[in-house]
Structure formats: C-alpha cells, structure tokens
Amino acid sequence: AFGSESLEEAFISRIRDAAALRRRLFDPAYTNAFRLINTEGDGIPGLIVDVYNGVFVLQISSPGIEQRKEQILSYLIKECSPRAVFEKSTSALRRREGLSEQKQHLYGDASPEVDVLENSLAFSVHVLEGQKTGLFLDQREMRAQIRSLSSQKRVLNCFSYTGGFSIAALAGGASFVDSVDISGKCGPALDRNLALNQFSPEKHRFIAGDAIDFIIEQPLNYDLVILDPPAFAKKRQDLPKASHAYRKLNRKTLEKIPSGSLLLTCSCSSQIDDKLFQTILFKASLEANRPVRILGRHRQAADHPISMYHPESAYLKSLLLEVL
C-alpha cells in the first residue's frame, strides 16, 4: 500500500530509499554487484532490480508493475544513472499471472556481459543467460563465510554454477577445489572467473555431471562440502518429493565425508521453512548414522531485506554442519 502518496511519489521515494541503503552497505571499490530493489522488502511488490557494475537487470512478476514498466524505467534512470538496463522476467510467478517471458535490452550499453566485484573477488556475469540475473547475489554472505573456512582444505562445490563458492574457497586458501554442475556451459564461465582472479587452474577441477550421481558414485574425501541445489519444491504439492530429495542428497553426503569435515547445505525452496529443513537434516544424519552439530545458520545478505509483513520472502536457508 502506498498510503496518501501518488504512485509516482511512492515509486520515486522507494527507489531513493533503496539506493541510499545500498550506498551505506557497499563500497563499490570492493563490491559493485548487489540487489537494489527486493520486492516487498523495499516496498515495491513484484519488482526486483539487480545491479552489476552499473548494469541494471529488472525482474517483473506482477501485472501492476508490468503496466508501469516504462514509468519505473524512467525513474530508475533519473534517480540512479545506470549505464545500461536489461529485463529478465522469466519467473514461474510471472507465468502464473498470465505474463509472457521477457529477456531484452531496455537502455544504454547493449552488451549483456559485465565483470563485477564481490568482496574484491572478480566475476564475469552474463545478465540474460544462465540462472537468475547472472550471479546468486543472495549467497554473498555465505560465500564470504566459505572463504573464511577454506584455508588448506579440500573443497567440493556441488551445483556449482559459475563457481561463486569455488572462487571464494580458493581465495580463502583452499588446497584444491572440485566444482560439479550438470551444465557443461558452466565450465568455461568458471575458467574465466579463475583467470579474472589469477588463480592457478591446477588447484581446480570442473566436472560436468549430475551432482547427486557424483556424490553417490565417488569417494568424498573432502574437508568442506557445499550443497546449494536448485529449488526442489516450487509449489506446495512438491513438498513430499522435495523433502525426500533433500534428505537423500544430504544422507548420501554425510555417509561418505570424513569425520571432522564441514558441510554447508542450503535450500532455496520457499515451501520448505527453516524448521522443516532442519528436521530433514536431522533425519538424514540419523539415517547416515553420522552425528553432526550445527556451527552456523544462513547469513542473510543485507541487500535482500525482508518485509515483516511478507515473511514468506525469506526463502533461502543454510546450515553449516560439522560431522563428528
């Protein structure tokens, strides 16, 4: 609700407030990839705006925002001075609202490829291809934690995408990192990120294959394992099947990794809340006959604020476990 404000006043004030918060949060000399507008958390339901080194990417999921796209674009240009704006509106929520997918250039520099910084680490991002808008910005704090935990460790990054966790682990002094993703396209992208950060390719291996098959078939002689799969439950009807999939994935991992190793396990399924996720992991550890203890929980990225009145937008869960 916008109260007594006109729509124009409401959009402009919320964009200004969102931009002011991000200026307080980030020094662009160290981090220039962040979420500028996070739907209800920034008071504009149906709109996400991600920023990659001055390149803005819009995700629109509601008919109301769709109708005002040009208006919002003009406000963003006036208030934030982006060097380019793209739209990548491909969410299932959008389809449920009867809106077609949109992937297009809207303003400024037409190149969808951009190099960015996150905590001084460099990443190459293609804003129209791949997952989300190019980088999983919501995992920034967890990547920083992995960086702090990786010194001299053998690391396995499953569902690696373009290697955010892998780059963080190598920056933290990992002795070796294996990255596993079913998409072979992730390999060249990950190689570029290694090169951007001047990391030795001898300390990294990309495996194009199903991460679950890799866990089942390979010995897991690692000190630190990251499981960050895609959403297994996108709607409530998926819950039983998704719960089984999460339990199997974590059970198979816990059965094999050495005592004393660490497991960062995540779920981005909005249908699975923190309590259910912890219950799933409790069952997985029992079935694997491996005692574990919780060392940490998900660290929310501050550029992904959550409205007190829309708590279901807190979709991302993580637990950092030690295998005893």
For 133-181, write each residue's pLDDT tens digit.
889 999 999 999 999 999 999 999 999 999 999 999 999 999 999 999 9
CA 180 to each of CA 255, 291, 303: distance values in angstroms, whole numbers, following the listed order: 19, 26, 28
pLDDT at site 311: 82
CB atoms within 10 A of CB 212: 19
pLDDT digits over 18-32, tens only? Answer: 999 999 999 999 999
The domain covering 136-323 belongs, at the CATH homologous superfamily level, to: Vaccinia Virus protein VP39 (3.40.50.150)
The pLDDT of residue 1: 53
**What is the CA 261 to chain-centroid distance, rounded?**
24
Tell me what pLDDT residue 313 has. Answer: 83
CB-count burial class (<10 Å; 0-12, 13-18, 19+) for 96: exposed
Q: What pLDDT was estimated at residue 2?
A: 58
| Residue 107 vs residues 46, 74, 112: alpha-carbon distances, Å | 21, 10, 11
pLDDT of residue 296: 97
- Give pLDDT tens digits for 215-259: 999 999 999 999 999 888 777 888 888 899 999 999 999 999 999
Is the per-residue pLDDT at 3 higher than 70? no
- Distance CA(103)–CA(107), nearest Å, equals 13
Quick one: pLDDT at residue 312? 79
Question: Which two structure tokens, joined as six digits, stand for 45?
Answer: 């339901």
CATH 3.40.390.10 for domain 7-119: no
pLDDT of 196-217, one tens digit each?
999 999 999 999 999 999 999 9
Mapping DSSP to helix (H, G, I), strand (E, B) and coil, where does residue 132 land? Answer: coil
Q: Per-domain residue ranges for the chain?
A: 7-119, 136-323
Looking at residue 243, its pLDDT comes to 93
Q: What average pLDDT does the segment 271-277 reach?
A: 92
Can you read off the two tokens belonging to residue 309?
A: 């009145």
Q: Is 194 helix (H, G, I), strand (E, B) or coil?
A: helix
The mean pLDDT of 120-143, rounded to a whole number, is 94
Handedness of CA 25, 26, 27, 28 (dihedral sign): negative
Mean pLDDT of the 104-132 span? 95
Distances (CA, A) of 116 to 19, 81, 121: 18, 17, 8
Report the candidate in 172, 182, 187 with the shortest Cα–Cα distance to residue 262: 172
| pLDDT band (50, 70, 90) for residue 281 | very high
